[in-house]
Every structure is written in C-alpha cells, then in structure tokens.
Amino acid sequence: MRKIIHCDCDCFYAAVEVRDNPQLRGLPVAVGGSPNSRGVIATCSYEARAYGVRSAMSSAKALQLCPELVFLKSDMAKYRDASRAMHEIFKQYSDCIEPLSLDEAYLDVTDISKCSGSATLMAKEIRARVNQQLGITISAGVAPNKFLAKVASDWNKPDGLFVIRPEEVANFVIGLDVSKINGVGRVTKSKLNQMGINTCGDLQKLSETELVRSFGQYGKRLFSVARGIDNRPVQVDRVRKSVSVERTYSNDLKSLAAVIECLPALLQELRGRCKQKLREGKTVIKRFVKVKFFDFTQTTLEHKLDSTCEEWDSDDIYGELLKAAWARQGKSVRLLGVGVRLGENDPVESRQLSLL
C-alpha cells in the first residue's frame, strides 16, 4: 500500500506575481499575452476565475468577461526560481518525486519515517513551509495511489488539503464524476454520458471486455480507476518523448506561401531546443507539424524517419508536411507548430551489420 502526496500550486504564475507586488492582492490578475494581439491566458487568479476567465482562453475574450482584468507578461525565470525552491522543500520529505510541471509533483512517502510516517502530517508541513518560505499557497492530496492523490489535491482548492484513506476508497469512487479521471476529456465524457455513465459507480457496472470494446485499450484503465485502482509508480526520471515549438501569429497567415515563409524561424528554434536532448543519447524517430486555423480548428501530421542517419531537420520535408496539413482545410492560419518524437539511440539497432 503506497502513500502518495500530490502537490499543486494555486494559480502559480499569478500567485508569484501577486507575492512580488502586494498591490495586486484581491484584484483579478491574468498572466499571458496581450488582449490587443493573439494573446492567450497562461493562468489567472481566483478573483479572475470568478468572472469565468480560464487558462488557455484568448486574452481578448477574457477582457470581455472581466473588463477590470490586470494583464501581466510571464516571467519564466522568476517562476523557475520559485519552482526550484519549492522542489527543495519536497526533497526534504522524499527522494521519490515525479515533477509534472513547474508547479505540480507527486511524492511517494511510503517508507518515510518523518512525521511519524504520517503522509497527512507531511502534506500539512509541506504546505506550511511553502507558504512561509515562498509566499505562495499549494493544495495537496493524500491517497494510496497517483490517480486518487491528484483528484484529492483538487478537492479543496485553493489552499486546501484532502485525504483519501485506503478504507475510504471504495465508497469515495462510487460517486466520483467520470470527468475526474485523467484522460477523460470532453469527447470521452460525452460518449460515456450517452451510455448512461456519469460516475465511477456507473462504470463499475460494465465489464472490462465491454469497456475495451467501446474505448480500446483505454477501457482497461477505465475499468481499474473506476474501482480506485492505479498501480503506476511515482517515476523519478520521466522520459521526454517529444520536443516542439509553437507560435501564435498576430495576424492570420492568409496563404500557403505565408505559412511556408514562417518555417525557417520555427525550425531554427526547434534545433536549439533539441540540441541537449540529442546530446543525452536521444534520437529523432518522427517529425510532426501542427496547424491551427483562424476558426480554432486544427490538424497535425507526422512523418517517420526512414533511417537513423537521415537528417531530421530537413526544411524540405517539414515544408511538405506543412503543405499537406494546410491543404486539409486550406484556410487562414493563426498558429503553427513543428516538433519531433524522440526515442533511444540504440547502437545495436543503428549500426550496419555484416551479411556474414
């Protein structure tokens, strides 16, 4: 039986900005792009959320919902510093930490003797120390597995703590909405609801075979988590499987020629981001492009490398991918992305073997 803590900062970027400028306290604050361009909200304070403002919303729409919204440019260096300081606190409670982002992480404290071995007391101490030392708040969830710990951390936000004890799991999941299951997005939730499934208790009425028939291999996970089962370990070393670059343009790209004209700058940035990963022994196995049109519909297209010695960053091949992706709708474009899928560089696989 594991003891897992999931820590998640409350509106992290905005919280750091308010900490550094107390005059912003109590005001609706958003960190992201300008509403006068193609800006998007990265995160916002709870005062802003009361107006319906949300992450990933266009800044222009956010301003319509909340005319008093205070817009701030993101300062990633400052946020990374706060994240590093927060993770130093985490390390004093466990060596088994899985970072999910700058402001979110799992801690496995199963065999930790600190706080008399109580995961709940450890979570309380972590929250208090982050608040005292960094001036921001985090919410935490404590549970026997990662799935439930993440659900729990969101239960009493902001600045909350929720604990799901092993003996409480069975009753807790029965009434849990299926939207709380990671991987259940709008489309999957709609499909489940159409099947008369709204809670994990409803899911429990279906066999694994029935769920696999309807949802493929993901049906196996639905079958397990609906019963509060999640055997995934906390992974200290998370393998990065892709690197990408995206850019939203102030003015729509009206033609294919305008799209192709933007490619060199995107590829130059992508090459810079890939350098470190390729030095670490990774190899590019696929290229991909993403095109988001003016009406927010989007498409992606990828291409597998034919050999390990092939140049992955060929302008010509990325150009052909963009042409094919754009042709699927042939409309004005607001966002372009280019990226690569990564794999291990296996010398046995990549070398030429003797025919003898």
Which parts are annotated binding residues for Mg(2+)? 8, 103
167 is catalytic: no
Query: Would you say the C-alpha torsion 231, 232, 234, 237 has a positive or negative sign?
Result: positive
Select from 153, 172, 171, 169 the least CA-distant residue to 161. 153
Query: Would you say the C-alpha torsion 7, 8, 13, 19 has a positive or negative sign?
Result: negative
Among candidate residues 68, 98, 104, 167, the one labeled active-site is 104
Helices (H), the chain: 12-20, 46-49, 59-65, 76-91, 119-134, 146-153, 169-174, 186-194, 200-203, 208-215, 218-225, 256-261, 263-279, 315-327, 347-350
**Angle 263-279/315-327 helices, nearest 10 degrees?**
120
Select from 172, 158, 337, 163 the least CA-distant residue to 245. 337
Residue ranges of the binding site:
8, 103
Long-range pairs of 224-227 with CB within 8 A, sequence gap ≥ 24: 225/147, 225/173, 225/181, 225/200, 226/173, 226/181, 226/200, 226/201, 227/170, 227/173, 227/200
What are the catalytic residues? Answer: 104
